[in-house]
Structure 1
Amino acid sequence: MKKIVVFFLFFTCILFSQSKKEVIVGILADNSTSETNILLEELKTEVKSVLGANVEVSFTKQLDNNFSLNTAKTNYQTLVDSNADVILSFGTINNIMLYNEKVYPKPTIVFGSINNDFMDLTEKINKTEVNNLSYVIAPFSYKDDIEIFNSLFEFKKLGIIVEEHVINELPIKDLLDTYFLNKNQEYKLIPIPKEGEDLTYSLDDVDAVYFAGGNYLEENKINALIKSVNTKKLPSFTAFGIKNVERGILATNHTDSNLSSFFRRIALNIESIVDGKNASDLPVFKNYEKKLTINYATATEINFPLRYSLIARVNFIGEKNDDLKDDTSKMSLLEMLEVVLDENLSLKAEKKNLDLVDQDVKSSKSNYLPDLSVSAGGVYIDPKIAEISAGESPEFSTSGAAVLNQLIYSESASANIDIQKELQKSQKEIYNSSQLDAVLNTSIAYFNTLILKTNTQIQNQNLQITKQNLDFAEQNFRIGSSGKADVLRFRSQLAQNTQNLIEANNDLEQSFNTINELLGQSMNTKIDIQDLNISDDIFEKYNYNEFFELLDYPNLKQKFVDFLVEETKNNAPELKSINYNLNALKRNYKLYDKGRYIPTVSLQGQYSLAMSQSGAGSSYPVGAPNIPDGTYNVGLNVSLPIFKQNLNNINRQTVKIQEDQLLIEQENTYLNLEKNIHDIVLDLINQIANIEISKVSEENAKQSLDLTQNAYKNGAVSVIELIDAQTNYIQAQLSKSSANYNFLITSMQLERAFGYFFLMNNDVDNQAFFQRAKQYILNKN
């Protein structure tokens, strides 16, 4: 029995050994470094692990092309002619060489970075459908990188650091020449310096640097290059992953590829090929993930201006500098208002209405200007008639005439002048109203933008708190004090917070679009604004604190409101415009009433000149008196319409109806303004309360969050309690940040209601306003 068992085991081992497959993997690379050698060993381990014990995997010696296309092609042919079963290709040069090949005799897997500028690979490719060819790649593009870099920093001349062999082997210069052909920018190729060479002098004439190469350099060499660039205070961008940004390059749009997932895919592809599947049928594994990453420490070191709008769409690494210096290019509210009043397109269009009304006034006055016309003509008469005309009608004659009409007085013309002047004043008030609306809209846009800027910052801070809480949850999970559910809950919370941050940034960008529209600028204009709150000097200067105090005392509120209503009567351009229209109607009524009894007086004069005459009948008979060549006449016309089809009465009645209509509109407008003042004052009182309450609320919420975080770390509270504490804290922060700005927005709305903006008037006028207010309150019973 034992012999049978031993025989069976021996036979099984023979069968097993006979069924075990052998696979030889050939490796192509551009160059070898200590770092790439380590990664290659990790890949070999992954391949052996996936293929398992049933497959004997061996790897050929790595063939490096040292960045030569010709060598790369030779190395590939060497592996094709060898006993290698599968070929792995690493590196840009190898991958471009293989892309240009038409036939692949052996299963070939292209791995690594693929430059889309030289190889046409799109996201839509799911399979290569090329016999024996498969991709496991991370595509990138010089042109795309430069576009992204330019969106961060509008350089004038870009220095592109790249290996010398890339310049020699690839058409990079042709590519960049074409790209920059129609741009107002330049570029300069800077070969990576050789041992002992200094990069500094090559950077003197550039204002930005793009690291298109250097990924194969030893760490000390790439660090030296980065240091040279940062010392020159030059913004920099890399074609490679976040690791280079961590070393000190300013930014990248690439992530560090998850090599474990890449290695696993390569191993699975090799397994499929061993099992008989064609490489062309394998899924193309592509990493198109892009993430703009900026190094805060580098940005601070080189004084790179970081806009708040970057916060949501950028992954920041390194030390965050919360004390960024104020950018002098940031617009203040007063600066913005000045630009809006000069450049706002709606105001410009409204200003044209004023110009048109001015033309109407000029046109009405022109009725009293003389009307002078001249004419000339020639006449040919039948010579038979001319012969018997006794010199009165010569056969050929030419003559000229000058006619002058002068209106001396017309009630209709005078009324038209008066009416157009009143309409001119009315249109001026409409323009003033539009200006006040523009000031209000600009102020609201300004303060809303500040609210959204603060909201973006708070959402980012909240995101960091969630990351911190996630760390606590993962620590608790590792030590067994909490379950996996807490980790998953915070990961979900992290996704929500990220979305909130993105939405906050988009809202902020939309607010900048609104400001650009108000300023009459393109939406592409990059702007930023200065932060403000009610404690700033500008608001002390323009008496907002005094305004605040008058509303803070309940016993003064109603008297102050009554004063504002009185001010509205004097200031509101809407009421003034209606008054001027009423004046125009009254003048029109006068025209159709007593004005119809006033005659129209005009003067007319004419001078005629016979310039020439010839032919038959051109001479007077002998003894007949000669008619002078030039004659004139002057006449005075006086007209008075007695009965104009009853139109005067009808027009008078129409004007009266229009006047009644305007009086109703005036009363309604005043009532609306009065209501707005009462409503806005109540809103202001709410805002005053919110300012004080939000301070206390934020302090309490912050203390509660700190206590809850400590308790959660010790396992004393649940994840729900911690999230609630965090949510309460962010809501309290948002409420506090919004309270001051909302008070200012509401204040501007109130000022618009009574037609007087403190920011747009000088200190003397503002002091006079408050003096009138105090005097009114003292006199009010």
Structure 2
Amino acid sequence: MSRISIILSTVFILFVYPLVLYSQPVNVGIVADAWGKEFELLSRQVKTEIEALANAGEGAIFKELSANWQPSRATESLQDFLQDPEVDVVVTLGFLSSEAAARLPVYSKPVIAATVLDPELQELPAQSGKNSDMLHFSWIESFIQLKKDMHSFARIFEFSNLAVIIPHALYSEFRVIDTYLTGNENSFTVSFIPVEKNENPLEQLPVGTDAAMVFPLIQHSDTAITEIFSGLNEQGIPSLSVTGSTYLERGATITFTPSRAFQQVARQVAVRVVKATEENSLYDVLAVTDKPERNPIINMEGLRLTGHFPQWDELDNAILLNVSKIPGEELTLHKAIALALENNLQGKITDQDLRIAEKDIRIAQANILPQIEASGTAVQLSENLVESAMGQKGEFTITGSVSLKQIIYSEAAYANIALKKLMAENAKQSNRQTILDIVLNVSEAYISLLFAKNNLQIKNENIGATLQNLELSKAKEKSGEGSVSDVNRWISELNIGKMDLNDAEARYKAAMYRLNEQLDQPVGNSIATPDSVDVSKTILQHQHILDFYFSNPLLSEKYADFLMNEMMAYSPELEQLATAGEIVDRQKLMKIRQMYLPEVALVGSADQAFVREGVIRNPQLPVPPPPDDITWNLGLRVSIPIFEGGRKKNEIQKAAIEQEKIAWQKEDLLNKLEMGIRSNVQFLQTSYREMELAENAARAAKENFHATQDAYAQGMANVAQLTDAQSVMIQTRQMALGARYQYVLDYVNTERLQGNFSFLEDDSERVQYANRLLNYLTQE
């Protein structure tokens, strides 16, 4: 029940209660334009309110008929009820039925037209206040203020061509609606688009349509209605929902009809019904017409889909829905991690480092394979050099050569291969460390985005609660039960709340930018996340086991011991340090071996003179001519250093120093990792316990707020108590939200320290991890 309606209920009861003390069963006949979602909802609300007021007597009995969108059927149904001795009061729901009721020539029993479109346009009898001068007829102006809402819609969105989507039966049988909405005061054109059951009107829209006004499509399915609004949004056409926020959840852009409108009109009907049954007259019915400010209700998701943003200065007191919902494909945590691993620049850099290390291994291995080189030489000699060569050289010579070198044993070459493999392993662990850091950073950014999104929603709901209290204080001030100071206090609270909302929205966008940076996407991209995502279920795959660990402080230490064991097996930092130690060990061994092991290599060459011209021979000298076929040589080269100035000795000593340094680094790293793990386990246990405490606090604060709001409406609490209750409610909701996400963040950080994210493993690996965790818990 709306808090503001409490005041109105008090006023109603002041004159209704004496009437219902001795009432008999109320027999009510209800005539509706047609049966469908909206009419059925209004009918249920009317019956509920009548029963609530009739409970002091013998209750209420209802009969219902539908006009099926036919004025003649509405008149027939009215006459049937007027002639039915078992019906005391007749109520009409809908424009057609209310019009038919207003046109009855005689009212033999009380008739209440609950939804009159416009009393002046329909030339209804003059009223004093909101009371009919006719003995048995009373009407209530419709809670749907079509013309006023249409003009407010035009002022906010500044459109030129409005399409009115309306059920065909209503439009054809209630043509006064055409005259009503196409007045000369419009600064825009209005086109009516009548639709049959489940018909999509998008193809019927006139060229240039830049706004749509949608009536209740009671014959349409939910899917058909969603498709209509989806199509309007895709075409960038903002839409006005006539009947309230129900259509906003299906994609409509804006409405001015408050969610409690059905309840308000139902209550006014109920008051008139009880009055009529007790006095058999509707003359001089007390006019209590609750007409609060019709604050616009904006669907931010639909607004973003249209890309048509309104004049925000017209929306000071607007109620925003789906403020944190972004259109587009939703990004889950696993998708975000996969996208980051694919696109992250730091990840790409370390991937290249690993590929380079693998190539270095191939290069080192190439050094111990046969090295064959072919060359060609062309030489032009001077005549005196040719003469002095005694027939062995020509004036012009072209020679081809092939050389071979094959290392049989070289400590430096084989050690180089081993070192490159160790360096590749080091690069692999460095790459794995980078991947873990990327997963951690993306998880933190994603969880921060979810927190900012939900925090924005909380701040927006705070605005809604403040607007409700402001409306309540205005009603109290108007009735004389409150003062203008209360109104001013809520105006101040409203503006402070809007400042907090702006800050929350900025933080939401900043969190989105941060996640985009981690994903290496354009920073300004919008990111849609699931509405009701419980990220803890995605990350904490074995919470039932952790519940046991956190139930006892001693067991939490045991959980830390388990994580230490996992860290020793999986930590890439430890693996890198271990690999660095192996590199130093291998370098030291190489230096020692080079002191006494020689390098052995097979060397050889072959030469062939292809052209030898201008040879000058001396026949007096017995010098054979140079060979015309291939000449070759093959040999074994053995080398060992004799004296290098003590370089090898100093290199060995340096390696020993590095070994000692690495041992200390490993000890220091282990201490830091253990400190991090044990500290994070304590943080994790604390946030685990704070979740329940924060939820309890938030639940109690919410109940206290509603109790205080009810007390304020009844004059039993002051504005300071209500503002304090609301402030505590918002703070505890933020605390509960923060505790939930902090627990998940602490867990992610703890898993990072162990060197492995269990929530990213496949099903079998997750089962193995859970078994290890459970087995460790049960070990003595």
- Taking structure 1 as the reference length, the TM-score comes to 0.62
Distance, in Å, in 1 between the alignment partners of 2:190 and 2:490 is: 48
1:673 aligns with 2:682: no
**C-alpha deviation, 1:204, in angstroms:** 3.9
**C-alpha deviation, 1:438, in angstroms:** 1.3
Distance, in Å, in 2 between the alignment partners of 1:232 and 1:335 is: 26
Alignment gaps of 5+ in structure 2? 1-154, 161-187, 216-224, 255-294
Map 1:244-393 to 2 at 5 A.
295-296=298-299, 299=302, 329-387=329-387, 389-393=389-393
Q: Note if contact 1:539-1:545 (Cα within 8 Å) is conserved in structure 2.
A: no
Residue 237 and residue 459 in structure 1: after superposition, are their counterparts in 2 closer, same or farther (change >3 A)? same
Distance, in Å, in 2 between the alignment partners of 1:195 and 1:476 is: 41
Residue 571 and residue 392 in structure 1: after superposition, are their counterparts in 2 closer, same or farther (change >3 A)? same
Equivalence for 1:633: 633
Equivalence for 1:566: 565
- Post-superposition Cα deviations, 1:377-408, rounded to whole Å, max 9, x if no partner, equal 22222224424533212222221211122222
**C-alpha deviation, 1:633, in angstroms:** 0.8
**C-alpha deviation, 1:195, in angstroms:** 9.8
Q: Note if contact 2:370-2:404 (Cα within 8 Å) is conserved in structure 1.
A: yes
Equivalence for 2:118: none
**C-alpha deviation, 1:692, in angstroms:** 1.1
> Which of 763-772 and 743-752 deviates more?
763-772
**C-alpha deviation, 1:492, in angstroms:** 1.6
**C-alpha deviation, 1:589, in angstroms:** 0.9
Distance, in Å, in 2 between the alignment partners of 1:449 and 1:298 is: 17
Q: Note if contact 1:209-1:229 (Cα within 8 Å) is conserved in structure 2.
A: no
Secondary structure at the aligned position of 1:530 is classed as coil
- Post-superposition Cα deviations, 1:482-528, rounded to whole Å, max 9, x if no partner, equal 43332222212111111211221221122222222222211233321
What is the one-letter code of the residue matched to 1:675? M
Distance, in Å, in 2 between the alignment partners of 1:450 and 1:475 is: 38
Q: Note if contact 1:251-1:293 (Cα within 8 Å) is conserved in structure 2.
A: no
Distance, in Å, in 2 between the alignment partners of 1:344 and 1:605 is: 52
Distance, in Å, in 2 between the alignment partners of 1:597 and 1:548 is: 63
- Post-superposition Cα deviations, 1:235-259, rounded to whole Å, max 9, x if no partner, equal 265799999999999559xxxxxxx
**C-alpha deviation, 1:619, in angstroms:** 9.3
Residue 245 and residue 710 in structure 1: after superposition, are their counterparts in 2 closer, same or farther (change >3 A)? closer
Residue 192 and residue 699 in structure 1: after superposition, are their counterparts in 2 closer, same or farther (change >3 A)? closer
Equivalence for 1:579: 578
Distance, in Å, in 2 between the alignment partners of 1:675 and 1:306 is: 53
Map 1:190-269 to 2 at 5 A.
204=203, 211=209, 230=228, 233-235=231-233
What is the one-letter code of the residue matched to 2:641? P
Secondary structure at the aligned position of 1:492 is classed as helix
Map 1:2-81 to 2 at 5 A.
none
Residue 609 and residue 681 in structure 1: after superposition, are their counterparts in 2 closer, same or farther (change >3 A)? same
Residue 313 and residue 605 in structure 1: after superposition, are their counterparts in 2 closer, same or farther (change >3 A)? farther
1:766 aligns with 2:750: no
**C-alpha deviation, 1:621, in angstroms:** 7.5
- Post-superposition Cα deviations, 1:436-491, rounded to whole Å, max 9, x if no partner, equal 11111122222221111111111111100111111122223334444333222221
Equivalence for 1:715: 715
What is the one-letter code of the residue matched to 1:571? Y
What is the one-letter code of the residue matched to 1:594? R
- Post-superposition Cα deviations, 1:617-640, rounded to whole Å, max 9, x if no partner, equal 279879753332221111211001
Secondary structure at the aligned position of 2:522 is classed as coil
**C-alpha deviation, 1:361, in angstroms:** 1.7
Distance, in Å, in 1 between the alignment partners of 2:523 and 2:510 is: 10
Distance, in Å, in 2 between the alignment partners of 1:496 and 1:374 is: 85
Distance, in Å, in 1 between the alignment partners of 2:192 and 2:674 is: 81
Residue 293 and residue 419 in structure 1: after superposition, are their counterparts in 2 closer, same or farther (change >3 A)? farther
Distance, in Å, in 1 between the alignment partners of 2:457 and 2:314 is: 13
Distance, in Å, in 2 between the alignment partners of 1:314 and 1:607 is: 95
**C-alpha deviation, 1:548, in angstroms:** 3.4
Aligned length: 551
Distance, in Å, in 1 between the alignment partners of 2:375 and 2:523 is: 58
Equivalence for 1:167: none
What is the one-letter code of the residue matched to 1:512? M
Q: Note if contact 2:301-2:323 (Cα within 8 Å) is conserved in structure 1.
A: no
Q: Note if contact 2:236-2:306 (Cα within 8 Å) is conserved in structure 1.
A: no
> Which of 636-645 and 715-724 deviates more?
715-724
Secondary structure at the aligned position of 1:405 is classed as strand
Distance, in Å, in 2 between the alignment partners of 1:617 and 1:681 is: 94
Secondary structure at the aligned position of 1:597 is classed as coil
**C-alpha deviation, 1:673, in angstroms:** 0.8
Equivalence for 1:557: 556
1:615 aligns with 2:614: yes
Equivalence for 1:744: 744
Residue 370 and residue 741 in structure 1: after superposition, are their counterparts in 2 closer, same or farther (change >3 A)? same
Secondary structure at the aligned position of 2:367 is classed as helix
- Post-superposition Cα deviations, 1:731-779, rounded to whole Å, max 9, x if no partner, equal 1111222322221111111111111212111233233233333433444
What is the one-letter code of the residue matched to 1:561? A
1:473 aligns with 2:473: yes
**C-alpha deviation, 1:693, in angstroms:** 0.9
Equivalence for 1:44: none
Q: Note if contact 2:601-2:638 (Cα within 8 Å) is conserved in structure 1.
A: yes
Distance, in Å, in 2 between the alignment partners of 1:700 and 1:586 is: 64
Distance, in Å, in 2 between the alignment partners of 1:514 and 1:737 is: 20
Map 1:98-177 to 2 at 5 A.
none
Equivalence for 1:528: 528
Distance, in Å, in 2 between the alignment partners of 1:532 and 1:410 is: 65
CA RMSD of aligned residues (A): 4.8
Distance, in Å, in 2 between the alignment partners of 1:679 and 1:415 is: 42
Secondary structure at the aligned position of 1:374 is classed as strand
Equivalence for 1:133: none
- Post-superposition Cα deviations, 1:342-374, rounded to whole Å, max 9, x if no partner, equal 222211111111112112222222221222222
Q: Note if contact 2:394-2:616 (Cα within 8 Å) is conserved in structure 1.
A: yes
Equivalence for 1:729: 729
**C-alpha deviation, 1:321, in angstroms:** 7.4
Secondary structure at the aligned position of 2:232 is classed as coil
Secondary structure at the aligned position of 1:562 is classed as helix
Q: Note if contact 2:330-2:529 (Cα within 8 Å) is conserved in structure 1.
A: yes
> Which of 546-555 and 731-740 deviates more?
546-555
Q: Note if contact 1:571-1:756 (Cα within 8 Å) is conserved in structure 2.
A: yes
Distance, in Å, in 2 between the alignment partners of 1:195 and 1:768 is: 65
Map 1:417-566 to 2 at 5 A.
417-530=417-530, 538=538, 542-566=541-565
What is the one-letter code of the residue matched to 1:581? A
> Which of 323-332 and 589-598 deviates more?
323-332
What is the one-letter code of the residue matched to 2:344? N
Q: Note if contact 1:534-1:744 (Cα within 8 Å) is conserved in structure 2.
A: no
Residue 314 and residue 669 in structure 1: after superposition, are their counterparts in 2 closer, same or farther (change >3 A)? farther
Residue 504 and residue 359 in structure 1: after superposition, are their counterparts in 2 closer, same or farther (change >3 A)? same
Question: Identity of aligned pairs, percent?
Answer: 24
**C-alpha deviation, 1:556, in angstroms:** 1.7
Secondary structure at the aligned position of 2:759 is classed as helix
Distance, in Å, in 2 between the alignment partners of 1:390 and 1:535 is: 93
Secondary structure at the aligned position of 1:593 is classed as helix
What is the one-letter code of the residue matched to 1:590? L
- Post-superposition Cα deviations, 1:155-211, rounded to whole Å, max 9, x if no partner, equal xxxxxxxxxxxxxxxxxxxxxxxxxxxxxxxxxxxx97989999x9995499x9864
Alignment gaps of 5+ in structure 1? 1-136, 143-190, 220-226, 253-291
Distance, in Å, in 1 between the alignment partners of 2:424 and 2:193 is: 79
Residue 324 and residue 346 in structure 1: after superposition, are their counterparts in 2 closer, same or farther (change >3 A)? closer
Distance, in Å, in 1 between the alignment partners of 2:551 and 2:156 is: 63
> Which of 732-741 and 611-620 deviates more?
611-620
**C-alpha deviation, 1:295, in angstroms:** 4.8
Distance, in Å, in 2 between the alignment partners of 1:456 and 1:482 is: 32
- Post-superposition Cα deviations, 1:110-156, rounded to whole Å, max 9, x if no partner, equal xxxxxxxxxxxxxxxxxxxxxxxxxxx999899xxxxxxxxxxxxxx
Distance, in Å, in 1 between the alignment partners of 2:226 and 2:668 is: 72
**C-alpha deviation, 1:730, in angstroms:** 0.6
Secondary structure at the aligned position of 2:550 is classed as helix
- Post-superposition Cα deviations, 1:650-708, rounded to whole Å, max 9, x if no partner, equal 11121122222211111111111101111111111111211111221112101211121
1:686 aligns with 2:690: no
Secondary structure at the aligned position of 1:606 is classed as strand
